[in-house]
Amino acid sequence: MAKTETDTPQIYLITPTSFDLATFGPQLAAVLDAHDVACVRLVMATTDEGLIAKAGDALREIAHARDVAIVVSDHITMVERLGLDGVHLSDGAHQVRYARKELGADAIVGVHSNTSRHDGMSAGEAGADYVCFGPVRENTLGDGSFAETDLFQWWSEVIEVPVVAEGLINLEMIKTLTPMTDFFAIGDEIWGTDDSAAALGTMIDAIKA
């Protein structure tokens, strides 16, 4: 995932943590057919490798048929086995070098750094292809911490590594962060709606406005 060449952030889709493949597969395909998407992240709450592998195989076919990259959260050993494009590390920067060594220079290695500028910089220095910060607004989850706009502003001005805004994205935050982020990671914001493609379209319209 490369830094955007224009001021318009790209879309990075995150799957639900639990889904019926027979339903979600067509849902994802419809969204990818309707909109340009840079990457899909497979996230599953289960630790059942068989279920993850089955989902990975099916979603890889859907994504790759549309020239969209697909990564998996945390399961480094599954990337090559399932023919995926890389891994997203949800627990900070400390596994970046290991993942890069295991997967090679061409694989996508991304990191979620929560709200920590230091962790984000460490991930970038270790070779991460992108760094996620979020959630992006006040909330009642966990300790309530969130990535403030100033973090994205600073990162966009100082750091070359692409930055991803993730978590509790809404239209207001899209308008605020569009000038200072390379990607918006969208997941729960659209999957629970009646029409996921239309919901994403509304967000993309806000980015372009």
Spans of all domains in the chain: 10-208
Q: What is the pTM of this model?
A: 0.95
CA-CA distance, 180 to 22, in Å (whole number)?
Answer: 37
Q: Where are the alpha helices (DSSP H) in the chain?
A: 21-34, 49-64, 78-82, 96-103, 117-126, 149-158, 171-177, 188-191, 196-208
* Whether the Cβ atoms of residue 94 and residue 116 lie closer than 8 Å to each other: no
Task: Give the whole-angstrom CA distance, residue 89 versus residue 112.
Answer: 6
Is the CATH code 3.20.20.70 the one for domain 10-208? Answer: yes
CA distance 206 to 209: 5
Reference 131, options 140, 139, 123; nearest CA is 123
pLDDT in tens, the chain (209 residues): 776 555 799 999 999 999 999 999 999 999 999 999 999 999 999 999 999 999 999 999 999 999 999 999 999 999 999 999 999 999 878 899 999 999 999 999 999 999 999 999 999 999 999 999 999 998 887 788 999 999 999 999 999 999 999 999 999 999 999 999 999 999 999 999 999 999 999 999 999 99
Cα–Cα dist 170/98, whole Å: 34
Residue 70: enclosing H or E segment and its boundaries?
Answer: strand 69-73
Residue 179's pLDDT is what?
Answer: 96
Residue 139: the pLDDT is 85
Task: Check residue 4 and give its pLDDT.
Answer: 59
Residue 25 burial (10 A CB sphere; 0-12, 13-18, 19+): middle
State residue 144's pLDDT score: 83
CA angle 7, 206, 168 (to 5 degrees): 100
Question: How far is 195 from 183, CA to CA, in rounded Å?
Answer: 22
Q: What local confidence, expressed as pLDDT, does residue 58 receive?
A: 98
Q: Scanning the structure block, which residue is given the tokens 């890069």?
A: 100
21-34 vs 196-208: helix crossing angle, rounded to 10: 30
pLDDT of residue 127: 95
